[in-house]
A and B are shown apart, each in its own frame.
Chain A
Amino acid sequence: MPEPMITAAQVRHIASLAQLEFDEEQIELFTRQLGSILAYFEQIRELDTEGVEPTSHALDLVNAFRPDAPRPSLPPEAAVANAPEQESGHFKVPQVI
Chain B
Amino acid sequence: MESDVFGPAGLRAREIASAVRGGRLRAADLCRRTIDAARGLGEALGAFNSVLADSAMACAQEIDRRVVSGEDPGPLAGVPLAIKDNICTRGSRTTCSSRILEDFVPPYDATAVTRLRAAGGVIVAKTNMDEFAMGSSNENSAFRLCRNPWDIERVPGGSSGGSAAAVASGIVPAALGSETGGSVRQPASLCGIVGVKPTYGRVSRYGLVAFASSLDQIGVLAADVADAALILSIIAGHDPLDSTSAPEPVEPYVSLLSGDLRSVTFGLPDEYFVSGMDPEVERLVKGAVERIGGAGGRIVPVSLPHTRFAIPTYYLIATAEASSNLARYDGVRYGLREPSRTLEEMYRRTRSAGFGAEVRRRIMLGTYVLSAGYYDAYYLKAQKVRTLLRRDFEEAFRKSDIILTPTSPTPAFRLGEKTEAPLEMYLSDIFTATANLAGLPAISIPCGLASGRLPVGLQLIGDHFQEPALFKAAAAVEALLGPTGMRPPLAAT
Q: Does B201 contact A (CB under 8 A)?
A: yes
CB of B124, distance to nearest CB on chain A (Å): 24
CB atoms of A44 and B381 under 8 A apart: yes
Q: Does A1 contact B (CB under 8 A)?
A: no
Which residue of chain A is the closest to B308 with respect to CB atoms? A43
Which residue from A6, A41, A78 sits with its C-beta under 8 Å from B315?
A: A41
CB atoms of B201 and A30 under 8 A apart: no
Bound-complex Cα distance A66 to B308 (A)? 41
CB atoms of A59 and B439 under 8 A apart: yes
Interface of A is mostly: loop
Task: Give every chain B residue within 8 A of A61 (Cβ-Cβ).
Answer: 201, 244, 246
Which residue from A17, A34, A43, A57 sits with its C-beta under 8 Å from B361?
A: A34
Which residue from A34, A36, A64, A80 sits with its C-beta under 8 Å from B368?
A: A34
CB atoms of A44 and B309 under 8 A apart: yes
Of B13-21, B101-109, B220-228, B255-263, the stretch lying at the interface with chain A is B101-109
Q: Does B297 contact A (CB under 8 A)?
A: no
The total of chain B residues at the interface (CB under 8 A) is: 74
Of residues A36, A63, A79, A84, which shows the largest number of chain B Cβ atoms within 10 Å of its Cβ? A84
Task: Give every chain B residue within 8 A of A14 (Cβ-Cβ).
Answer: 364, 367-368, 371
Task: Give every chain A residue within 8 A of B206 (Cβ-Cβ).
Answer: none
Which residue from B105, B355, B381, B438 sits with its C-beta under 8 Å from A49?
A: B381
Bound-complex Cα distance A94 to B377 (A)? 38
CB atoms of B437 and A58 under 8 A apart: yes
Which residue from A17, A52, A93 sits with its C-beta under 8 Å from B343?
A: A93
The A-contacting residues of B in range 376-423, CB under 8 angstroms, are 377-378, 380-388, 390, 422-423
Bound-complex Cα distance A85 to B350 (A)? 14
Q: Does B49 contact A (CB under 8 A)?
A: no
Q: Does B330 contact A (CB under 8 A)?
A: yes
Would A17 and B214 be within 8 Å (CB), given that A52-B388, A61-B246 are in contact? no
Would A20 and B384 be within 8 Å (CB), given that A15-B364, A33-B422, A74-B107 are in contact? no
Would A84 and B423 be within 8 Å (CB), given that A37-B315, A49-B388 are in contact? no
Bound-complex Cα distance A34 to B246 (A)? 36
Q: What's the interface size class on A, roughly?
A: 35 or more
CB atoms of B214 and A94 under 8 A apart: no
Bound-complex Cα distance A45 to B378 (A)? 8
Q: Does B211 contact A (CB under 8 A)?
A: no
CB atoms of A59 and B246 under 8 A apart: yes
Task: Give every chain A residue within 8 A of B431 (Cβ-Cβ).
Answer: none
CB atoms of B108 and A45 under 8 A apart: no
Task: Give every chain A residue within 8 A of B144 (Cβ-Cβ).
Answer: none
Would A82 and B334 be within 8 Å (CB), given that A6-B368, A30-B361 are in contact? yes
The A-contacting residues of B in range 268-313, CB under 8 angstroms, are 306, 308-309, 311-313
Task: Give every chain A residue within 8 A of B55 (Cβ-Cβ).
Answer: none
CB-CB nearest 5 A-B residue pairs: A58-B439, A54-B383, A84-B337, A82-B334, A49-B384
Given A37-B423, A59-B201, A61-B201, 5 more pairs with CB closer than 8 A: A6-B368, A33-B361, A44-B309, A58-B437, A93-B343
